[in-house]
Amino acid sequence: MTASLHQLLIDDRTAGIRLDIFVTRNFTAGQLSGLTRSGIQKLIGGGQITINGQKSKPSARLKTKDLVQIQNLEPREIALEPEALPLQIIYEDQDCIVINKAPGMVVHPTAGRSHGTLVNALLHHCSDLQGIGGEYRPGIVHRLDKDTSGAIIVAKNDFAFQQLAQQFKNRTVEKEYVALVWGKLAREKGIIDRPIGRHRSDRKRMSSIYPLAKVREAVTEWKVQQIYCVECADQREYWLSWLQVRPRTGRTHQIRVHLADLGHPVVGDRIYGFKKTSGNRSRNSGPHQFSRQALHAQKIGFKHPRSGAPITLVAPLAEDICSLLKELDPTGVDKD
């Protein structure tokens, strides 16, 4: 039998679920990255995804001790073009590369964007990257939002991809962000443990307060690093807090959603931030005019995919955030 890309034994907790739903939830890395549920159903129908080595229907119900297997798939032809875009590389070897992603750069191509992405730049820098991990996401094992800057790991071969993807799945990758948020938090540190799902009235947003019935566990740890007080032209004051944030899970928009739902949205967040009014539009201070969310993936720690050696890397702050912080004067206020 052809060697399988991946396989998983069904236990009592997952018994009874449909095959296509199980694969969608558990095998969306590797060569299945970016596939929709309908795409996975086609692979099942073609016999490339099997139960106990036997071809099955997408609707087949899994039983305890069933073995779900995904066969090696031929790399799909992709139409991505390498582009000589600037990259700030903070680590690189034969297995992986870590980039300090610039704000405004999309990680991988989408239906409406095929140029100017991190993937386009990586294909120029790493000529053999194509075909690793997925049609439109070669080498990408995790993502950052377009307007979030900072450290992102990219695999340079299939072995490294599988090893790194497993670390993210097992939640052994240490991620540390910094964020400038509106307001003064009541405590010096805390943990937000609230599931996240699609917003019940706006499917383009996520929410931990008004989600649809289907939610996923989400845990975010935060700690105040500095508090700022800024005086407006009308002599009113407003507060901002500089936070260290550690997401224990990796849900879509997790940090932005959790902080916004806590009442302290990230400065510049156009989706989850405060709505602009005629009053704050007239302010010329940096925080009110900041053009993207002031969120940066500052530190990442993982085990090298081949040697297992621990690696911890720090991504310098983006210039726009540095400039913003220079505009703010520390108040020296007690954070308790």
Residues annotated catalytic, as ranges: 145
Element (H, E) at 324: helix 319-327
Among 106, 208, 120, 109, which residue's Cα sits nearest to residue 148?
A: 106
What is the token pair recorded at 229? 């007080």
Q: Which long-range CB contacts under 8 A does 274-282 form with residues at least 24 apart?
A: 274/182
Structure tokens belonging to residue 225:
């690093």
Tokens encoding 93: 């070897």
User: What's the distance, CA 174 to chain centroid?
Assistant: 13
Q: How many helices (H) and strands (E) does the chain have?
A: 8, 16
Structure tokens at 70: 């995904």
Instruction: Copy the structure tokens of residue 182.
Output: 């509106």
H or E stretch at 101? strand 96-101
Site of tokens 């008004």: 210
Length of the chain: 336
Sequence-distant (6+) residues with CB within 8 A of 5 are 30, 31, 70, 71, 72, 73
Sign of CA dihedral 28, 29, 35, 41: negative
Amino acid at 159: F
* CA distance linking residue 148 with residue 325, whole number of Å: 16
CA atoms within 13 A on the CB side of 263: 5
Task: Please give the backbone phi and psi of residue 319, each rounded to the nearest 5 degrees, phi first.
Answer: -60, -35
Task: Give dist(CA 32, CA 44) in Å, integer.
Answer: 12
Tokens 């034969």, residue? Answer: 94
